[in-house]
A and B are shown apart, each in its own frame.
Chain A
Amino acid sequence: MKRKISSIGLNVFLLVLGLVTVYPFIWMLSSSFKQNKEIMALEQHLLPQQFIIENYINMNAHFNFIRFFGNSLLITLVTTVLVLYTSTICGFVLSKYKFKGRDLLFGFVLSTMMIPWCVTIIPKYSMIQAFGWMDSYAALIIPAAFSGFGIFMMKQHIASIPDEIIEAARIDGANEFYIFHKIIFPMAKNGISSIAIFQFLWAWEDYLWPYLVINSQEKQLLAVGLKMFNGQYSTDYGALFAATTISIIPVLIIYLFFQKRFIAGIAASAVKG
């Protein structure tokens, strides 16, 4: 009986927590169908008093939404795939190979996570200028191709794969690349899913770096576009909410696909050392 009551209590608590978390999204979705004057009205209603779809139709008035959305999707997918591959291969090497300086190298990787981005952004900007990568996707993709967090997570995750499996493969004549691609990669899919979600989200919502290095409107990303709704004197909230609603669709899809493995991956990476 006691257990049942505590279980109900926990569920009610989680339900309330869930509602608190989800409410801003519902409010944003609902407000995307309101006029600005209703969004800013003194008397607030969750549902639109006057339902309009103009915010969606007029999204392009501020910037080329479709183009920015497509650009963001491309950059996010490319960097996510690259990070997944580089993180897994680096994690594999750091976890399963014993060589001199391995721990030092791993420490160096970890240290990259500890330096605030605002310290590195100016030197990074200068480097990109010196390389001639300004206003090109190389400036977005190449610096993002390696992730300290991804390497750390995958090293932890791959450590949970028994060495015996790798030894057995070697005895059967598998080379190291075969072992990585055919054994380690499939066995690390929970960890990969976790990194995929994190990386996708980070790349999708990244604003300042793409804004600084990309000038051409036709190459610009959606996170930058969303800021265009904030004017010098006012903000077009309706259009901003409409655009933001559309912009979270890819993130939702990724989460839908990877959620089970994501949780398993996070749990596994957390306990293995």
Chain B
Amino acid sequence: MMKRRAAALTLAVSMAAGLWGCGGGGSASTAETAPEVEVPTEPFGDTIKYDPSVPINDGKDITVELWEWGSDELFQQIIDGYTAMHPNVTIKLVNNPWEDYWTKLPLALDGQNGPAIFNVHNSYHENMINYMAPLEIPLEDLEADFTGVEAHVIDGNVYYIDYGMMTGSVYYNKEMWEAAGLTDADIPKTWDEMREVAKKLTIRDGDRLIQAGLNFNDDFHQNYLLGLNYQLGENLFLEDGRTPNVTSDAMKQIMQMLVDMYQVDGIGSADFGEKSSDSFGQGQSAMVIQWGHYYNTLNTTWTDIDFGVFEIPTFDGEPYAYNRYNGESTFGINKNAPADQQAVAQDFVKYFLANDDAQIAFNLAMSTFPAKKSLADNPEIMANPSLSVLAEHIDHYIWPGPMPSTMETSLKKAGEDIFYNGVDIDTALNAAQQEIIRDMQSSTFTSVEDLYKYAQ
């Protein structure tokens, strides 16, 4: 018995040791291949200028923490660039799992030991904003360099802005496209054309669907219901900025179009491909509308799919706006951090905003269109097809503000009731409207749709 146990122990230890060896090697090689950091000596930036010669914390050593989720290398790059200019500053990067970051961060910010700098996502705006210090960069400078700043102004202060804008585009499978006899000239511009193309891409064996021309299962609320309304000139919220507008004629028209696509055109099915994003990757569906992050998913997970991207179609070619976008936010600064740490944090954010390389790297990593105006036609950005398709009309996308999640969940439920439970469109959308009103009673959210450049 003891021999068996000893053998098991030896085996387990040797397995673990072997694997540790593998892991350790990976770590070491990362350090060995770390690129050298170029240290600028002259001020750089557009309107927001960063002067690397200005000493930080009077040249005295200081350590601050930066909390983020998921993108260590990206953040480390910008930290390395900053600390190369200011060797007296140490920025400790703390990586977090996405979901629980939003549990831990408010607890930490509420006390004395929270990070001086932290990554922000605007969907958690209400939980975070009371812990944030306003940026010390003049508002005019921010507005001169970045789009969408006005929507982030609170009582004359800006706490964070967007460095990038993410929205939806159509991803199509090039092999299926060719097999259906379609060419680049067939790229649809309108929803009618889109439906015709989708019909050609649909393959059936009798009544059985083999290949969906278009799949919107699981995310139709995000990619259609909460965006196409703008194409028809309707906002998501009424003039008071608080009352949801999900029972509008525009919303009903969009919902009806989705129903018709599946039930009349037969270009897909609510029971075919549980999640449209996976279904496209699995080679089941020929087209999907997905937001920018999907470009990275296709390049990392679904590497066998040869895909192309085109801009979202419109109803008449002259939309009020093409779609909704959401911003990827710049860092937050902890207002409860010691003053010297806050000063470093302010300087770090300024460095991030003035630094074009950092802006490009962050936008490419997230597949977001740069909010920095001078980068709108940057060649590196334009080389990314998910971003280049947005370039022409990027000023025709609307950010409604950090909407409460009930907008998504309630509309998803409405759509599922229509597709799976046979509820009629009016009843489902009315129920969603009531649910959103109820859920928003405790929210301070007010829409910023009226700040859209072409607001009517």
A residues lining the B interface (CB < 8 Å)? 36-37, 40-42, 53, 56-61, 63-66, 69, 122, 125, 129, 134-135, 208, 211-212, 215-217, 224, 227-228, 230-234, 246, 249, 252-253, 256-257
Mark interface residues in B12-53 (1 if CB within 8 Å of A CB, else 0). Answer: 100110011011111100100000000000000000000000
Q: Report yes or no: A234 in contact with B301, Cβ–Cβ below 8 A.
A: yes
Interface of A: prevailing SS: helix
- In the complex, whether B60 has a CB less than 8 A from a CB of chain A is no
Determine whether the beta carbon of A234 is less than 8 Å from that of B300: yes
Name B70-106 residues within 8 Å CB distance of A: 70, 92-100, 103-104
A65 with B23: CB separation less than 8 A = yes
- The contact of A233 among B92, B111, B296, B303, by CB within 8 Å, is B296
Known A-B contacts A134-B113, A233-B296, A234-B301; A64 and B27 likewise in contact (beta carbons under 8 Å):
yes
**Which residues from chain B contact A59 at a C-beta distance below 8 Å?**
19, 22-23, 26
Give the residue of A36, A42, A65, A224 whose beta carbon is less than 8 angstroms from that of B97: A224
| Cβ contact within 8 Å between B70 and A231 | yes
Complex-state Cα separation, A57 to B21, whole angstroms: 9
Contact of B284 with A by CB under 8 A: yes
- Judge whether A249 and B15 touch: CB under 8 Å: yes
Q: Is the CB of B20 within 8 A of A66?
A: yes
Closest to B292 in A: A233
A37 and B301 form a contact (CB under 8 A): yes
* B positions within 8 Å CB-CB of A: 5, 8-9, 12, 15-16, 19-20, 22-27, 30, 65, 69-70, 92-100, 103-104, 107-108, 111-113, 115, 121, 278, 281-284, 293-294, 296-297, 300-304
The CA of A1 and the CA of B8, in the complex, are separated in Å by 39
- Given contacts A57-B23, A227-B97, A230-B99, 8 further A-B pairs with CB under 8 A are A40-B282, A129-B112, A208-B103, A215-B65, A228-B97, A246-B16, A256-B8, A256-B9
Contact A135 B302 (CB under 8 A): no
Q: Does B98 lie within 8 Å of A37, measured CB to CB? A: no
Write out the residue numbers on chain B whose beta carbons fall within 8 Å of the beta carbon of A58.
26
Name B12's contact: one of A60, A125, A253 (CB within 8 Å). A253
Closest Cβ of chain A to B19, distance in Å, is 6
Instruction: Report Cα–Cα, A257/B97, bound state, in Å.
Output: 34
| Cα-based distance from A231 to B297 in the complex (angstroms) | 11
| Chain A residue, CB-CB nearest to B279 | A42
